[in-house]
Amino acid sequence: MGIDPPFGKGLVNVIVEHALHSGGADDIRTTFDIFREIFLVFLVIGTAVGVVVVAYMTYNAYKYRDGNGTADSGDVSRPELGELPSGSGGGKKLFVSFFFSAIIVVSLIGWTYGVLGYYEEGPTEAETDEALEIEVTGYQFGWQFTYPNGHTNSTLVVPQDRPIRLTVTSDDVFHTFGVPEQRVKTDAIPGQTTKTWFVANETGQFEARCYELCGSGHSYMTADVVVVRQSEFHDWYDNRSAAENETQADDDPDTETGTDTEGRLVGVPSVTTPNHATEPTTIEP
Amino acid sequence: MTEDAHAENGHDGLPPQTAVKRWLVTTNHKDVGILYIVTSLFFLVFGGVLALLMRVELWTATQTVIAPGAYNETVSAHGLIMIFFFISPFAFGFANYVVPLQIGAEDLSFPRLNALSYWLYLFSGLLFGTSFFLGGTFSGGWTMYAPLNMPAYTPTVGGTTAVLALMLFVASVTVSSVNFLTTMHRQRAEGLTTLKLPLFSWTILLTVWMMLFAFAALLAALLILASDRIVGTVYFQATEGGSLLWAHLFWFFGHPEVYIVFFPALGIMAECFQTFCGRRIVGRKWFIAAMVLVAIQSFFVWMHHMFLTAISLEIKTLFMATTIGISLPFDLMVFALIYTMVKGKIRYTTPFLFSFGALVLFIIGGITGVFLGAVVLDYEFRGTYWVVAHFHYVMVGGATALFGGLYYWYPKITGRMYDEFLGKVHFVLYFVGFNLLYFPMFVAWETPRRVFEYHQSFVAWHQLASIGGFVLAAGFLVMFYNLYKSLFAGEEVDGNPWEYASSAEWSVSSPPPFENFPGLPSYGDGRLRFLTPGRGGEVADGGTATGDDALDAAADPATESDRPQSDGGTVTAEAARPEIARDETADTALPDAEAEEEHPDHASYWPLAIGLSAYVTFLGLSGIRMDTAMYPALTGVGLVMGAFSFVGLGRESFHVPEMAVAERWPFEGVENGKLGMWIFLASDVVLFGSLIGSYVFIRVAYGWTAWHVVPHDPIPGLINTYLLLTSSFTVVLALVAAKRESTRGLVASLGATVAFGVGFLYNKGIEWQELFHEGTTVGSSVEASTFFLTTGLHAAHVIIGLLIALFMIAQALKGAYLGEEGSRKVEYFGLYWHFVDIVWLFLFPLFYIL
């Protein structure tokens, strides 16, 4: 069920979840899936390497401790006061270790590079439904979403299983737009646009928030993301237009939304123009 | 602090170490090192208290004790203080104390500049502290992203004060870099080639090179920022790339800064591993090669901090590759340290434990850094606690080794041993506290950075981290108690308390004599010897011994007293703590035929005076746009004080002998002063390069051809080009006259230079006046801002040059600067002046024609 966001899952949970995960074969490969897979592999290998190296260090520190007898074999040359600095041998072992570590690092990163292109560009039109293009504008301290028909909203309402392409910018300072549950994130830079995409496989309500310090309201700079079934999205979207923005400006942005047992949307996502006044204004600069 | 025997004699011209006055006037590298260490520990406490404040706020998932704006100030100040005012100065405390001893120098090349670095550092830190009281300090994070760093969003005077404090800090770093580079390249003991430098000195050498260039880029960024905040230029407000411009400038500095912070720690790890394992490092040459590679490559990875900005996939790929590339040399260094333990005779002393712990922490930091190197993972980690945890493992992991260094050199600096048990208690609290503090951040990595409101599900992890923070802090209470107690109650040590320590600082008494060595240090025959050349090159044994007796022989009175009493390295048997009796002849009788009879100077008030003037000036500047007379008045007072102090410094007779015999590769033919000037100008090249780069960046973002060239008429600029070129010629004439010992010719040539320079400024003044009349002001457009700021900075260089020239004229009238030796200062001034001219040759086409 997608209602319970994976937000807040620790490392362990991610691994467990991955083990249980059974993605449908015809699913679009989402950023969430890609991230989870890569993160898991990195975690396993990273932990293994870390444990081996630190264990080996500790073993050496213990084995060659003073008074253990290992030190006094006689053939070891010790540093002397006033000598010109020089090194010990052992270069071969050094290079073998270096070589292996380099292979691990390069192959890990090289492997992730293979999906970077897809991660950047998203699924092609041929693979999926037509993408929904939404403009995202950050401001101190909130987000505004502009739909292709000119409708603007303070909640990001998107259909399930359809690529959502975001063009992100900022009205004032440097923000970063991110929806952690969807593993989507990009910088919102004034005067520039950045692009990103995601596909939500499950309906539900999520949180978008700012990931770059942007002022005193940074901690509160969030927006709701509501994923609904495609049919429900069409019902909602077809009744929205740019002209409506003004008339519905006073809607309560915090309308309860959720899904019933069948996963249907309960409560209508609020529709407002960006209303800066709804943001925490009590904060002193 | 134990009293320096020589200070009692007044031999060095300084009051004893117990007198406050000594610490205000000293230029001795060991004194300055102690000042750095003590001051940086103060800032550790400052930044640490701010960190604990954050950890208290993060105890619950909602905002409780600190107001939102104050939280942002806390976050920002914690980062800036720890990175700028704690870690690097702490490392440079050791560098100041130890590097001259390790390389065989009596002091740094420019002792007064060394004191100046310290005072600029102290006053920059105080200025930063003052910013809290001027409406609140800067609150836009330590990365100071644009345009949040603009007064429109962070309007407090304190915000500007903090920016100026950082500028002052950069000034300190630049002065220090010039000094260290000159010293380390020109004052190494005979036989100590660059490749043979002890590893701590190696890391400092590379650190200082990185500092020289990286901080120049930061200075450019801060200059533009200060100009935007004070003068009213509109660089970072410009939507045409202003925001990205800051990110580029900042990270071009910011990534090398990571290694600037980490390298000294690496050097200490290498020293401690070698000493306490009783093994020379494995693969020394490769270790050094890896560090050199990192130092160079550190300037080509900065965009990995910007993977989520609008940079193209090709550039991301390139920077991903360079990022992996820079991680690999560290693998080699880590393995080299680990293999050094094999066949060792490892003693778990406090410095070793800290070094070992630092390596463990660095390995964890490094592995989690590889995660960030994968662009796909970086996208999600950006702005989260994964990043926070990672860089604390790397940076505080590095600081771990620095604390090891504090214990390692404590007996050398104080002459007394710290309490080993308390040291171990500190280590346990530190290591447990550290991991309790930062490891949970990996688990709760989905917490966004710099927020005080986070998801409920992370509360337990953040509480664990908060507990860890207090455990870590408790460890420092133990450390401070230990350091203080041992100062009086610690066991007295001789020259070398550590078996298998090998570098030169351990071959002299603890603390070392004021002049460091009993004779001229030399590795000429492969081992450290102290020469007393006045006696026809007689060799004195300064604590070299062979075999396992190295420790005892170094300072054991019995061994040493077998040698002739006139020996420069003799240790007097009757001294409770062996002091090396200094042979007076070694002081004066250098092999150089022109042996100096003059004693070297060690005391000057002017560095302190300049630091104080800078503090007052910058404090005034930060609020100069306010409607009170106080700030302009402060600025004025500060400038007058500064002028007075600089003239005082320039007029002071301060004798610093150059080493008679030294390794000077690759600068054998260049004297210290000239090398110092070259190095300074190299940093100035980066400064102007960054400003020109910023101009090009903004202009490209704006549309190169759509750009409106500010001066309507290139003719005034062309005339100025001729004026400056001619003035370069007159400077050459001045040098010729000085060498010919013609005071009249010297004064006339310098006078002509001043006249041309004034003509340049007058012409520019008219040009600017006209532009202002037309309504083209510094803030009227981004074109105008780049024009006025870049050419204005050049004009400031001209003005400084003219002030120096006027000062030199006044001195020349009194007969200064004549002859081969005296003319050198004219030559150094000439180098500067030519550089200023060359800069104009770039600026003229860029801002008047293209």
- So what's the pLDDT on residue A118? 85
Residues from chain B contacting residue A105 (CB–CB below 8 Å): 324, 327-328, 331, 370, 373
Residues from chain A contacting residue B279 (CB–CB below 8 Å): 76, 78-79, 88
Q: What is the pLDDT of residues B198-231, one digit of tens each?
A: 999 999 999 999 999 999 999 999 999 999 999 9
Residue listed under structure tokens 């009205």: A171
Q: E strand or H helix at B532, and its extent?
A: strand B529-532
Report the pLDDT averaged over residues A245-249.
45
B748: pLDDT confidence band, cut at 50, 70 and 90? very high
Q: Which residue has the higher pLDDT, B662 or A269?
A: B662
Residues from chain B contacting residue A80 (CB–CB below 8 Å): 500, 502, 544-547, 550
Lowest mean pLDDT of A97-101, B422-426, B592-596, B786-790, name the range.
B592-596
Q: Which residue has the higher pLDDT, B312 or B588?
A: B312
- So what's the pLDDT on residue A124? 79
Selection from B450, B447, B465, B393 nearest residue A10 by Cα: B447
Q: Which of B80, B280, B359 to mutate to test the interface with A (most CBs of A within 10 A)?
A: B280
- So what's the pLDDT on residue B850? 86
Inter-chain touch A11–B286, beta carbons under 8 Å: no
ipTM of the complex: 0.87
Nearest-by-CA chain A residue for B454: A219
Q: In Å, what is the CA distance from B703 to each residue of B783, B787, B790?
A: 12, 16, 19
> Least CB-CB distance to B451: which of A56, A88, A219?
A219
Inter-chain touch A81–B506, beta carbons under 8 Å: yes
Decide: residue B188, CB within 10 A, 0-12 exposed, 13-18 middle, 19+ buried: buried
Q: What is the pLDDT of residues B264-285, one digit of tens each?
A: 999 999 999 999 999 999 999 9
Inter-chain touch A140–B545, beta carbons under 8 Å: no
Inter-chain touch B72–A192, beta carbons under 8 Å: no
Selection from B386, B371, B382 nearest residue B441 by Cα: B386
Q: What is the pLDDT of residues A1-36, one digit of tens each?
A: 333 444 444 444 554 454 444 444 356 788 888 999
- CB B167 within 8 Å of CB B219: yes
Residues from chain B contacting residue A190 (CB–CB below 8 Å): 147, 239, 242-243
- So what's the pLDDT on residue A71? 61
Nearest-by-CA chain A residue for B503: A82
Strand order in the sheet with A222-228: A156-159, A222-228, A204-210, A175-179, A184-188
B595: pLDDT confidence band, cut at 50, 70 and 90? very low
Give the max Cα distance, chain A. 90
> Least CB-CB distance to B339: which of A54, A90, A285?
A90
Selection from B673, B655, B606, B668 nearest residue B825 by Cα: B673
CB atoms within 10 A of CB B614: 25
What are the structural domain ranges in chain A? Answer: 31-67+91-121, 132-278
What are the structural domain ranges in chain B? Answer: 1-226+602-668, 515-588, 693-849
End-to-end CA distance of chain B: 62
Residues from chain B contacting residue A139 (CB–CB below 8 Å): none
Selection from B210, B127, B111 nearest residue B168 by Cα: B127
Average pLDDT of chain B is 90
Per the document, the length of chain B is: 850
> Least CB-CB distance to A94: which of B199, B332, B551?
B332
CB atoms within 10 A of CB B845: 12
Looking at B703-781, list the stretches that DSSP marks H as alpha helix, in order from N- to C-terminal side: 715-739, 743-773
Q: What is the pLDDT of residues B353-393, one digit of tens each?
A: 999 999 999 999 999 999 998 899 999 999 999 999 999 99
Q: What is the pLDDT of residues B153-184, one digit of tens each?
A: 999 999 999 999 999 999 999 999 999 999 99
Inter-chain touch B546–A176, beta carbons under 8 Å: no
B552: pLDDT confidence band, cut at 50, 70 and 90? very low
Q: With 90 as the cut, is the pLDDT of residue B9 above it?
A: no
- So what's the pLDDT on residue B556? 39
Inter-chain touch A54–B331, beta carbons under 8 Å: no
Residues from chain A contacting residue B507 (CB–CB below 8 Å): 81-82
State the SS3 of B324-358.
HHHHHHHHHHHHHHHHHCCCCCECCCHHHHHHHHH
> Least CB-CB distance to B243: which of A64, A109, A191?
A191
Inter-chain touch A71–B343, beta carbons under 8 Å: yes
Report the pLDDT averaged over residues A25-48.
86
Selection from A127, A147, A129 nearest residue A137 by Cα: A147
Amino acid occupying residue B200? F
Lowest mean pLDDT of B232-246, B313-327, B548-562, name the range.
B548-562
Give percent of chain A with pLDDT exceeding 90. Answer: 55
The distance of A166 to chain B (nearest Cα, Å) reads 13
Return d(Cα B75, Cα B368) in angstroms, integer: 23
Amino acid occupying residue A114? G
Alpha-carbon A157 to chain mean position: 19
Q: With 70 as the cut, is the pLDDT of residue A253 above it?
A: no
CATH for the stretch B1-226+602-668: 1.20.210.10
Q: Would you state the torsion angle of the CA atoms of residues A210, A212, A214, A220, taken in this order, to the nearest 10 degrees? A: 30
The distance of B231 to chain A (nearest Cα, Å) reads 21
> Least CB-CB distance to A98: which of B332, B345, B550?
B332
Same fold, B1-226+602-668 and B693-849: no
Half-sphere exposure of B767 toward its Cβ, with a 13 Å CA cutoff? 23
A156-159 and A222-228 strand pairing = parallel
Residues from chain A contacting residue B383 (CB–CB below 8 Å): 176, 178, 185, 211-212
Inter-chain touch A78–B279, beta carbons under 8 Å: yes
Q: What is the pLDDT of residues B785-822, one digit of tens each?
A: 999 999 999 999 999 999 999 999 999 999 999 998 89
Give percent of chain B with pLDDT exceeding 70. Answer: 91
Inter-chain touch B379–A211, beta carbons under 8 Å: no
Q: With 60 as the cut, is the pLDDT of residue B298 above it?
A: yes
Nearest-by-CA chain B residue for A215: B140
Please spell the DSSP secondary structure of A62-92, one letter per residue: HHTBTTSSGGGSS-PPPP-TTBPP--BS-HH
Q: E strand or H helix at B782, and its extent?
A: helix B782-813
- So what's the pLDDT on residue A243? 57
Return d(Cα B219, Cα B227) in angstroms, integer: 12
The distance of B669 to chain A (nearest Cα, Å) reads 25
Selection from B54, B446, B200 nearest residue A5 by Cα: B446
Nearest-by-CA chain B residue for A184: B380
Decide: residue B9, CB within 10 A, 0-12 exposed, 13-18 middle, 19+ buried: exposed
Inter-chain touch A192–B310, beta carbons under 8 Å: yes
> Least CB-CB distance to B500: which of A78, A117, A194?
A78
Nearest-by-CA chain A residue for B547: A80
Inter-chain touch A87–B141, beta carbons under 8 Å: no
* Domain A132-278 sits in CATH 2.60.40.420: yes
Selection from B413, B208, B197, B182 nearest residue B284 by Cα: B197
Q: Which residue has the higher pLDDT, A69 or B475?
A: B475
Report the pLDDT averaged over residues B833-847.
96
Lowest mean pLDDT of A203-212, A251-260, B656-665, name the range.
A251-260
Residues from chain B contacting residue A193 (CB–CB below 8 Å): 310
State the SS3 of B271-325.
HHHHHHHCCCCECHHHHHHHHHHHHHHHHHCHHHHHCCCCCCHHHHHHHHHHHHH
The distance of A55 to chain B (nearest Cα, Å) reads 10
Report the pLDDT averaged over residues A126-154.
91
> Least CB-CB distance to A78: which of B367, B374, B548?
B548
Q: With 90 as the cut, is the pLDDT of residue B733 above it?
A: yes
**SS3 of A205, please?**
strand
Residues from chain A contacting residue B283 (CB–CB below 8 Å): 87, 90-91, 94-95
- So what's the pLDDT on residue A91? 83
> Least CB-CB distance to B502: which of A8, A81, A176?
A81
User: What are the structure tokens assigned to B443, written together?
Assistant: 């688990």
Q: Which of A213, A214, A216, A220 to mutate to test the interface with B (most CBs of B within 10 A)?
A: A213
Nearest-by-CA chain A residue for B384: A211
**Non-local CB neighbours of B568 within 8 Å, separated by 6+ positions:** B518, B519, B530, B531, B532, B540, B542, B582, B583, B586
**Non-local CB neighbours of A213 within 8 Å, separated by 6+ positions:** B72, B75, B140, B141, B143, B145, B148, B449, B450
Domain covering B693-849, topology: Four Helix Bundle (Hemerythrin (Met), subunit A) (1.20.120)
- So what's the pLDDT on residue A207? 95
Out of A129-133, B550-554, B714-718, the most confident range is B714-718
- So what's the pLDDT on residue B533? 62
Residues from chain B contacting residue A61 (CB–CB below 8 Å): 341, 346, 348, 356
Residues from chain A contacting residue B346 (CB–CB below 8 Å): 61, 64-66, 71
Lowest mean pLDDT of B496-510, B539-553, B707-721, name the range.
B539-553
Report the pLDDT averaged over residues B135-146.
94
Q: With 80 as the cut, is the pLDDT of residue A144 above it?
A: yes
Residues from chain B contacting residue A187 (CB–CB below 8 Å): 306, 308-310
Residues from chain A contacting residue B545 (CB–CB below 8 Å): 80-82
Return d(Cα B431, Cα B416) in angstroms, integer: 25
CB atoms within 10 A of CB A130: 8
Decide: residue B80, CB within 10 A, 0-12 exposed, 13-18 middle, 19+ buried: buried
- So what's the pLDDT on residue B340? 95
Q: In Å, what is the CA distance from B208 to each residue of B93, B157, B213, B483, B505?
A: 13, 32, 9, 28, 20
Return d(Cα B316, Cα B318) in angstroms, integer: 5
> Least CB-CB distance to A108: which of B71, B370, B384?
B370
- So what's the pLDDT on residue A234? 92
Q: With 90 as the cut, is the pLDDT of residue B510 above it?
A: yes
Q: Which of A47, A68, A80, A95 to mutate to test the interface with B (most CBs of B within 10 A)?
A: A80
Inter-chain touch B553–A86, beta carbons under 8 Å: no
